[in-house]
Amino acid sequence: MIETPSRPHGRLAIALVLAGLHGCALAPIAENVRDDDEDGWFTNATNQAIVLTLVSGAFPLPGQFRVVVDEVRFPLSPALDATIAVGPANVGTPTALGFPVATRTIGTNLLELPEQRATFRAPVVVQRVTAGAPVEVGTGIVEWQNREATFSVTLGSATLTFASSLSQFADPTPDSADGDSDGDGIRERDEAQLSAGFDGIGDPRPGRADLFMIVGHTHASSALSASSRELLRSRFAERGIAMHIDAGVGGLMTGTGGSAVADGTNVTLAQARTLRDLNVTVGNRRTFAYFALLTREQVECNGLAFGCAEFPGNSGGNVLVALSRLLDWMPDIKAYQAGVLMHELGHNLGLCHPMATACATGVLPAAEQNAGTTIMGTPAENPPIGVWGVPLPNPLVLVNAMTRPLDYSPTQWSNMQLGAGLGQ
């Protein structure tokens, strides 16, 4: 997390701090500290963006490896299954990588830091992937600062080399604290709050969209898995969107008086919103976070369903509820949990089923009206089998639903109304 010591006192201390921002003389001090709209971002190019790059990796065995930084799988790829190939001749020697793996920002809270130095941290895991199954090689935390530096981290029997680079930027909308230059639905004043309080994750710059999500569950067996977090964050990162899943506010969601949701309860959207309001206060980022509730039972949404979600609208549109696991005692077949979450979140973002003939974000091109090529497809879009004119359930419905890609169609990604459902 960003260190938050007290602000230096006295004119001389302030002058030294400000001079240190650019290594400049005292003349442009007033320009350096301007925050005309008081949104937490310097008006001029004094805000900092720090990029962490994975320069290289030395791995202990030949085979296929993957590095997970900040719960995102690298290398990024459309199928989310790319690996780093290490041949026998390369064992123990650095393999060049060059992946940007994390970005952090600092705004006017820079003045609260001693010598304007901030420390950032991210979890890192090295995996060896065999037949699609990852085996952990090493795990730890990478730390870097808002300084140009190159350093190595040893994780188990692997060694990773990182580099941090720093650039500066101006407030993208200096005349409005409510500006949203990156189009993610998070106001710049809120991006500054994220940056100051949550390890620098808020980024207001154009093209740097953030998607903030709180995930709760009604029973311990329904909790969001580490694999689902990786898959979801990696998918959105692959599309250039930084997804943040808030573990500190999510967790077990209880009813009035701390009572657990009874087994056998088919939760509705209205009940999910009530649980959110009881467990997540407005002060806990509710105004700029989507909320997902994972349940042990099926969802009641005009009949039983695997999930249900609100569409964007004036009354909200940022709540979804979903059956977390097909069966408690079964493994997560075909990444069901990540798939159902991404499907319902798609509705929060304004997306419809691919066959929909009326959709606020537009009807898909004919080539994309295929239930098997987007996670927004539904079992209902697999037609029944007709026997002598009598429709029967299609036994492939569930199989087809489980094998859809964890992805939206190209037009759906373009049509997405990121942030349109945010609010109360």
User: Is the pLDDT higher at 397 or at 308?
Assistant: 308
Count of Cβ atoms closer than 10 Å to residue 111 Cβ: 18
User: Comparing 124-133, 199-208, 275-284, 368-377, which segment has the lowest mean pLDDT?
Assistant: 275-284
> In the predicted model, is pLDDT for residue 124 greater than 70?
yes
DSSP string computed for 24-89:
--STTHHHHT--TT-SSS-SSTTEEEEEEEEEEEE-SSSEEEEEEETTEEES--TTS---EEE-GG
Average pLDDT, the chain: 88
pLDDT at 123: 97
Instruction: Give the list of residues 6+ apart from residue 213 with CB closer than 8 angstroms, or none.
Output: 243, 244, 245, 246, 289, 290, 291, 292, 345
User: pLDDT per residue over 339-375, tens digit each?
Assistant: 999 999 999 999 999 988 888 888 999 999 988 889 9
The total number of residues shown for the chain amounts to 424
> In the predicted model, is pLDDT for residue 20 greater than 70?
no
User: pLDDT per residue over 57-87, tens digit each?
Assistant: 999 999 999 999 999 999 999 999 999 999 9
In whole angstroms, give the CA distance from residue 264 to residue 275: 17
User: pLDDT per residue over 91-101, tens digit each?
Assistant: 999 999 999 99
pLDDT at 257: 84
The residue assigned the tokens 């990786």 is: 230
> In the predicted model, is pLDDT for residue 23 greater than 70?
no
pLDDT at 227: 93
| CA dihedral angle for residue 86, residue 92, residue 98, residue 99, rounded to 10 degrees | 70
> In the predicted model, is pLDDT for residue 284 greater than 90?
no
User: Comparing 101-105, 115-119, 377-381, which segment has the lowest mean pLDDT?
Assistant: 377-381
Average pLDDT of the residues in 124-136: 94
What percent of the chain has a predicted confidence (pLDDT) above 90? 66
In whole angstroms, give the CA distance from residue 343 to residue 380: 14
Query: Domains, the chain, ranges and CATH?
Result: 11-178 (2.60.40), 210-415 (3.40.390.10)
pLDDT at 12: 38
- CA angle 290-207-196, nearest 5°? 60
